[in-house]
């Protein structure tokens, strides 16, 4: 009897957690098709908010800026973070432990502190706020996440495979590109996806370093809160959610296919 009670309690607790996490998402998707402008009462099915979304130049431009920023910062931070992770894993040098500890600083400090410090830094070197400052900032706070994820993958790396490749005549670059990189690729992809997500939904740091001509989507939505968020944002959120699920599904399929 006690065993059944514990089991049903655990199932109920898990169900409540999933409901808490996913019910708001389902509500957002449902209200993106609501005929009412107010998200408080269902008035009928419509797709007019999706039509209005693609006719809203401000939101489309903000979305393009966010996607462009996220893609560029992801590529740069993934390249730098992967090389840094491999270098720190492979080599021992003075100050390595200090450098290793400094990687956690951007992750641990509040974002508002990093935003203010980046704003002061750009002001000190006389760089005007705009897309460039946004890009530098997003790369800066994304690199540590990439390094940590890739290093976690490297912890199970068998160095004997790398040594065998070099004994067979492979150059250091061939060893890295054909042996090391394919093995750690799941970690690299995970770091890239995490970097893309962090860049796409950042608000606080972007608020301090963005310029008038570099409005990102999160900042645009934040500015709309004062006047009321229209259901077009629900439509945009639904589209982004579908794209995210598709990318995650493709990644999972490839990992399962490769036996990862």
CA distances 105 to 17, 88, 100, Å, are 31, 17, 10
| Per-residue pLDDT at 72 | 94
Give the SS3 label for residue 167: helix
- Ranges of each domain in the chain: 57-257
Please enumerate, as own/partner, the contacts of 130-136 that have beta carbons within 8 Å and a separation of 24 or more. 130/210, 130/211, 130/213, 130/214, 131/65, 131/69, 131/211, 131/213, 131/214, 133/209, 133/210, 133/211, 134/69, 134/206, 134/209, 134/210, 134/214, 134/216, 135/69, 135/72, 135/73, 135/76, 136/209
Q: Which fold has domain 57-257?
A: MetI-like fold (1.10.3720)
Q: Residue 235 in contact with residue 60, Cβ under 8 Å?
A: no
- Give 10-residue mean pLDDT values along the chain (260 residues): 75 88 88 80 84 86 90 94 86 78 83 89 88 92 90 78 76 79 85 89 89 84 76 86 82 68
pTM here is 0.81
Q: In the numeric block, which tokens belong to residue 96?
A: 């390595």
């Amino acid at each position: 009897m006690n065993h059944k009670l514990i089991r049903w309690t655990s199932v109920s607790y898990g169900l409540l957690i999933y409901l808490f996490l996913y019910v708001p998402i389902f509500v957002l998707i449902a209200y993106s098709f609501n005929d009412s402008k107010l998200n408080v009462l269902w008035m009928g099915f419509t797709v007019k908010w999706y039509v209005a979304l693609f006719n809203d130049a401000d939101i489309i431009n903000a979305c393009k800026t966010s996607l462009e920023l996220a893609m560029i910062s992801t590529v740069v931070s993934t390249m730098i973070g992967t090389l840094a992770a491999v270098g720190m894993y492979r080599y021992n040098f003075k100050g390595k432990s200090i450098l290793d500890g400094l990687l956690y600083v951007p992750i641990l400090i509040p974002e508002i502190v990093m935003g203010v410090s980046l704003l002061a830094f750009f002001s000190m070197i006389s760089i005007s706020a705009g897309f460039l400052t946004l890009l530098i900032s997003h790369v800066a706070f994304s690199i540590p996440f990439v390094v940590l994820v890739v290093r976690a993958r490297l912890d199970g790396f068998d160095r004997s495979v790398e040594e065998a490749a070099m004994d067979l005549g492979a150059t250091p670059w061939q060893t890295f590109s054909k042996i090391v990189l394919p093995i750690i690729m799941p970690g690299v992809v995970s770091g890239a996806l995490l970097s893309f997500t962090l860049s796409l939904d950042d608000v606080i740091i972007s608020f301090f370093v963005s310029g008038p001509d570099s409005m990102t989507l999160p900042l645009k939505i934040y500015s709309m809160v004062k006047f009321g968020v229209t259901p077009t944002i629900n439509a945009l959120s639904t589209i982004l959610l579908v794209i995210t699920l598709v990318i995650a599904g493709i990644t999972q399929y490839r990992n399962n296919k490769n036996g990862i």
